[in-house]
Amino acid sequence: MLNCNLTILKAKLLFLLALLSACQPVGQEPAQRWQHAVEGAYAANISNDAKFSVVSSIHHGISLWDLENNALKYNWSQQQNSAENLVLVTDIADNNSHAITANRHDFSLWNIENGLSEGFWSITESTIRDVAVSNNGDYLLVGQSNGKVVHITIANGRRLEFLGHQEKINAIDMLPNGRIALSGSNDFVAYVWDTVSGQVIYRFNHPSRVTMVALDPKGRFAFTADSKKSANIWDLKTGELITKLKYFNRQEIFSAVQFSPDGTKLLTGAPSRKVSIWDIATGERLTSWRVLPREDIRPAGAVVYSVAFRDNNQVITESSSGYAELWQVNKP
């Protein structure tokens, strides 16, 4: 009987070791590391094709980086002269035509090809929580602390206010054509809605406040996650749940999300420096690792602001450490 129990215990230990080894970091060190902000960054966004990133910092203002050559393309200024008006959210159009940057009350549209500003707007009724921009800078999306999400048509100045949420907005996203939006709020709900009519297409309920949302640029999936233990991938064509991400932690908070171009993987970043790759079909975590922290702060830490697949075997991250990091990913 004792031998039988020992055999069972040994089998369990081997299973746990195998499980742990499968979740070990791909590599302890990045293949390449580039400093994009001295003394850390306050916001960053990587383009979906991993060719550009926008980084906000107190010393450099807003910087647009060419990630293929690690070259500074432009430095932009948006009245970043105090902690009150630092750019805290940014987005890059799917076709890399434009970028949008925002502090607490102001947002700007930038042309990536020529570096020129194409508009500056202010909001006085509440603070800005998140922003998104469509291809060619045709449409802007602004999520606010008063629960409103504003969709702006640049050509004619049309403003549509989505009023479905009851509490402050935490995250928003928009398809490249600007026609479909996704928003998540403290009211425990994420909505997929039509930006022309303002009508709700799908309602995704959560057990706690929705902290992260993302749309697959190809219109296949939606991702919603809350502050407790629910992170879901939805079929954007039917509104049906595809899978829930599976993790052993009591909770998992996400600060960055991207779908793989082939629609099989989900890439996430976290405030805990953690980067993970998930299987969309099963919700299983395939691998994970941590970005390097800033060396001049204690305790050492970094928030992963943005993540992107460069190809099937490489991932790029931007974090609050002020560094962009290129990671070699071994196929699970």
What's the CATH fold of domain 31-81+255-332? Thrombin, subunit H (2.40.10)
Complete DSSP assignment for 70-123: TEEEEEE-SS-SSGGG---EEEE-TTSSEEEEE-SSEEEEEETTT--EEEEEE-
Q: Domain-by-domain residue ranges, the chain?
A: 31-81+255-332, 123-244
Query: Parallel, antiparallel, or unpaired for β 265-269 and 274-279?
Result: antiparallel
**pLDDT cut 90: percent of the chain above it:** 80
Complete DSSP assignment for 166-182: SS-EEEEEE-TTSSEEE
Residues of the chain with confidence (pLDDT) below 70: 1-28, 79-85, 298, 331-332
CATH of segment(s) 123-244: 2.130.10.10
* Residues 101/76, Cβ–Cβ less than 8 Å: yes
CA separation for the pair 293, 191 (Å, rounded):
35
What is the pLDDT, as a whole number, of residue 25?
Answer: 45
Query: Parallel, antiparallel, or unpaired for β 265-269 and 256-259?
Result: antiparallel
* Residues 154/119, Cβ–Cβ less than 8 Å: yes
| SS3 of residue 8 by DSSP | helix
- List pLDDT tens digits, range 200-239: 999 999 999 999 999 999 999 999 999 988 999 999 999 9
What is the pLDDT, as a whole number, of residue 331?
Answer: 55
